[in-house]
Structure 1
Amino acid sequence: MIKINDLTKSYGDKLVLDGISLDLGKGLYGLLGENGAGKSTLFKTLIAYEGVDSGEIKLGSEKIGFLPQKFIGYPDFSVDDFLSYMADLKSISKENMADEIRKVKNIFNLEGFSKKKLKKLSGGQLRRVGLGQAFLNNPDIVLLDEPTSGLDPSERIRLKNFIVEMSHDRLIILSTHIVDDLTSIAKEIIILHNNKIAMDASETSLIQNLEGYVWECPYELYLKIQSQNDIFSKVYQKDSKDYIRLISKDKPFEMARAIEPSLDDVFLAVIKDFDL
């Protein structure tokens, strides 16, 4: 449903996307990268908001839903008025408009403030309005740029469950810099780094690439024997003791033990240019 061939995009002398190629069908895809990695720029080229320097984009449908990273809508519109306006722009018939709006209001828990102006909403409420407009008219392709921003934990879980369910018969790309947003839900995870696709595979395959390279050891011991070649992942407590998680090609020292990698480890390894 989306085919991208050797896409390149620059802003002046700054290269933002370099040779991006993807072939995506139905399902949920994660677009993972640091802030500034080019995720939002890629989305803008897909919706033709911005042109490209070179390359080709083919979309399998014109019914596209889009949630931008910074969504404000029309601040003086009420929630109902804004959703009605967006439904009209998406050519939803007058006969179906009320049902379509009611559906997204129910899904994204918008009923309680239908008459409230967008500028009076909290950040999480406004984000949910943005999600609602993205799914109006049952789009075939949905692009969600940092959709969990501003949502509380229960709303994040509700959103993830909904997106997984909706991805069975359409293509959804969820862009984020938060690894937990994609854990256990994405068909494939595309990692952007240094303007390019650094990795593109299932979560299981990505993690398998790092097997044998993730280590655990007592933090106190690590402080004495630490090496500049190791990638420091995180410190955590277990059995009332502090431990450290490391990424290293070789066993860092005798007391270290190999542990199961996680998607967090993979992402950290990529952005730290660890040779997988």
Structure 2
Amino acid sequence: MELTLEHVSKKYKENDVVKDVNVSLKPGVHALLGANGSGKTTLMRLICGLLKGEGSIHFDDIDASLEYENFASHIGYMPQNFGYYPHYTLKEFLDYMAIVKNLNKDYSEKRILSLVKELGLENQLNKKMKTLSGGMLRRVGIIQALLSEPEILILDEPTAGLDPKERIVFRNLIASLSQSTIILLSTHIVSDIESIADDILIMKEGEIIMHGIYEDLIKVIKGKVWEVLVPKQDASSLMKRYRVVKNHNQNNGVYMRIVSDLKPHDEAIAVIPDLDDLYLYYFVEEVAYD
């Protein structure tokens, strides 16, 4: 089972939003990381067939451009913001989504009850959608994407708004699906990526600039991450000259974690890099994840 993208591109007017993406994904969890405007959501919408672009997308021997309905039947998609009818109860909304997905009624009833229980929403079935919290709505979005037991699961910021306990439930659910499902998710929560991703795709200005497992990706910045404790009067100068991942005041100075090709301070010590460091190394001008 394999999802293959070849020369996938998308332009808006003269702007290349997605540029010549070539990637093959097999069952497992693939995390898509990039800054705001890097093209992540556009790429996901291209895969789902919600946007038309250049290039080809295949699921095994199914060509998405020639057999879209067949291709789409294998996909579950959770957009970053999904629409719903606010006056529907949760049960009515999920029943409606099951009809849209052309699911058998007996099957969908069992599937809905199983998923709402797994995601802790069984007590909300008769509540109107408009009364659900943001975290609950994210869980509803995940449930509707999973209704048809898709072989390809596309999740755009699935953990946004979830509290730590809800994120643990989500991670366990995704881990249970990863052996038999191709899962592509975007998230700005590094702990989610480090906990569940089999590999990471880093997207910048519409291109996949890196793709690999966590351990291999951070090797790129080995020897480029430093920690140092400096007098308070020196901290401001370092912040202006270097990419500072973390800094906080201590009684005897300011602790700083810095990403730099060169040693930023005589007292700086090289440390083991992590995903935050990698992100800042490639997206120095960005202040937040998408």
TM-score (norm 2): 0.88
Q: Give the corresponding residue for 1:127.
A: 138
1:28-69 residue CA offsets vs partner (Å, 9 max, x unmatched):
0000111221111111111111100x2111124532111000
Compute the displacement of 1:247 (Å).
1.0
Is the 2:3–2:26 Cα contact (8 Å) retained in structure 1?
A: yes
Q: Give the corresponding residue for 1:29.
A: 30
Letter in structure 2 aligned against 1:216: E
Unaligned runs of 5+ in 2: 61-70, 286-290
Compute the displacement of 1:112 (Å).
1.3
Compute the displacement of 1:225 (Å).
5.8
Q: Give the corresponding residue for 1:190.
A: 201
Q: Give the corresponding residue for 1:58.
A: 58
1:92-129 residue CA offsets vs partner (Å, 9 max, x unmatched):
21221211111111111111110111112111111111
2-structure distance, mates of 1:219, 1:135: 51
Secondary structure in 1 matching 2:160: coil
Report the CA distance shift for 1:223/1:46 in structure 2 as closer, same or farther (over 3 A). same
Report the CA distance shift for 1:34/1:238 in structure 2 as closer, same or farther (over 3 A). same
Letter in structure 2 aligned against 1:232: V
Percent identical residues:
36
Secondary structure in 2 matching 1:23: strand
Secondary structure in 2 matching 1:29: strand
Is the 1:105–1:111 Cα contact (8 Å) retained in structure 2?
A: yes
Secondary structure in 1 matching 2:195: coil
Compute the displacement of 1:132 (Å).
0.6
Q: Give the corresponding residue for 1:13.
A: 14
Aligned length: 272
Letter in structure 1 aligned against 2:263: K
Secondary structure in 1 matching 2:223: coil
- Aligned positions of 1:250-261 closer than 5 A: 250-261=262-273
2-structure distance, mates of 1:127, 1:86: 15
Alignment match of 1:151 (pick from 162, 173, 179): 162
Q: Give the corresponding residue for 1:161.
A: 172
1:230 aligns with 2:231: no
Compute the displacement of 1:151 (Å).
1.0
Q: Give the corresponding residue for 2:66.
A: none
Letter in structure 2 aligned against 1:15: D
1-structure distance, mates of 2:257, 2:284: 15
Report the CA distance shift for 1:23/1:238 in structure 2 as closer, same or farther (over 3 A). farther
Report the CA distance shift for 1:224/1:177 in structure 2 as closer, same or farther (over 3 A). closer
